[in-house]
Structure 1
Amino acid sequence: MKRRTFLAGAFTGTAALALGVSLYTPDITDHPDENHRLLFNVLIPIFMDGTLPEVANYREAFINRTIVAINQTISVLPEDQKSEINQLLNLLESRMGLLLLTSSLTPLMLRSADELVLMLEEWRHHFLQMLQTAYLGLRELVLSSYYACPEHWGRLHYAKPTFLTA
């Protein structure tokens, strides 16, 4: 067997295996998550490192409130931006999308915090403008939605401005 034939066969076999794994995604639930709740449960703690409460119940409440705010933010975006962000979120939830965006088939939910930080830092400094834009879009979506919630302002020691009425 020639070396070139072996390499071509190995590459074809790997691609077929990756495609087969990507196409076979068992149905875990009958209702897909339109709000990308699992994805944001993973991304919010990464982007908000150090700002979320340490107590589990409060942390979960802050994350859930932020997810609601993210969905509200997405709902008021112009159609083209809404389409782009939903396309990115759908790619991050699919195996083939993960393979294209992160060079790995491992779902984001199964990655460690360090792996996620490394992935996002690679996007942030990537030579492709598309990945830089994806990083900035996700970051701005999460941060702006978190800080838009008045119940999160107390941790910042920020008080809503009051205006004197005459």
Structure 2
Amino acid sequence: MKRRTFLTSAFVGTAAIALGVNLYSPEFIAANRSQDSQHRLLFSALLPVFLDGALPEVESLRRAAENRTLDAITQTIAMLPEESRAELEQLLGMLEQRLGLLILTGSMTPLMMRTAQELVTLLEYWRNSFIELMVTAYQGLRELVMASYYSCPEHWSRLNYVKPTFLGTET
């Protein structure tokens, strides 16, 4: 066998295996994807990065704030216009697939398996990217997470915001 034939065969075989791994979806993976139709797992990896310093230090309070924010994200996505929701779903779908991750991040490692520093580096790259689409993706994810977090009244105290009261009305 010639060296060129061997290298070509190895490359084609590796590409086929990578594509097969990306497309292969056993029942338990398919079940998890259907249960995570709201992208809670993906956002649970991104929340600590976007909300660094805003989340409570106590673990039980932190977990409650994260869960409340994940619920708010689901509600916010549901209220988006159809076109914006479709674009967001496309981005989130790509971030949950290995081939999409490879295209968007240069690595097939799922976001949930990356360290906080790796996620910060990735998001900073998107934020300062010369590709407008990456900047838009960063801004969209950040705005969604921040708006959902601060839409919850229990988080307003971090902003020193107090709900206004009007004369003659009860709180």
> Measured at CA, do residues 83 and 159 of structure 1 come closer, stay the same or move farther in structure 2, by a change above 3 Å?
same
Which position in structure 2 is the counterpart of 1:24? Answer: 24
User: Residue 98 of structure 1: CA displacement?
Assistant: 0.8
Alignment partner of 1:140: what SS? Answer: helix
User: Residue 157 of structure 1: CA displacement?
Assistant: 2.5
1:105 is aligned, of 79, 84, 108, to 108
Q: Map 1:1-166 to 2 at 5 A.
A: 1=2, 8-9=8-9, 11-26=11-26, 27-28=28-29, 30=31, 32=34, 33-165=36-168
Distance 2:102 2:93 in 1: 13
Q: Give the CA RMSD over aligned residues.
A: 2.1
Distance 1:6 1:136 in 2: 45
Letter aligned with residue 57 of structure 1: S
Q: Deviations over 1:84-118 (max 9, x none)?
A: 11111111111111111111111111110011111
Which moves more between the two structures, 124-133 or 137-146? 124-133
TM-score (norm 1): 0.89
Consecutive unaligned residues in structure 2, runs of 5 or more: none
Alignment partner of 1:142: what SS? Answer: helix
User: Residue 8 of structure 1: CA displacement?
Assistant: 4.7
Alignment partner of 1:82: what SS? Answer: helix
Alignment partner of 2:80: what SS? Answer: coil
User: Residue 164 of structure 1: CA displacement?
Assistant: 3.2
User: Residue 130 of structure 1: CA displacement?
Assistant: 1.1
Distance 1:155 1:127 in 2: 33
> Measured at CA, do residues 83 and 164 of structure 1 come closer, stay the same or move farther in structure 2, by a change above 3 Å?
same
Count residues in correspondence.
165
> Measured at CA, do residues 10 and 133 of structure 1 come closer, stay the same or move farther in structure 2, by a change above 3 Å?
farther
Which moves more between the two structures, 31-40 or 58-67? 31-40
Distance 2:46 2:107 in 1: 17
Distance 1:74 1:34 in 2: 12
Alignment partner of 1:30: what SS? Answer: helix
Consecutive unaligned residues in structure 1, runs of 5 or more: none
Letter aligned with residue 128 of structure 1: I
Percent same amino acid among aligned pairs?
A: 59
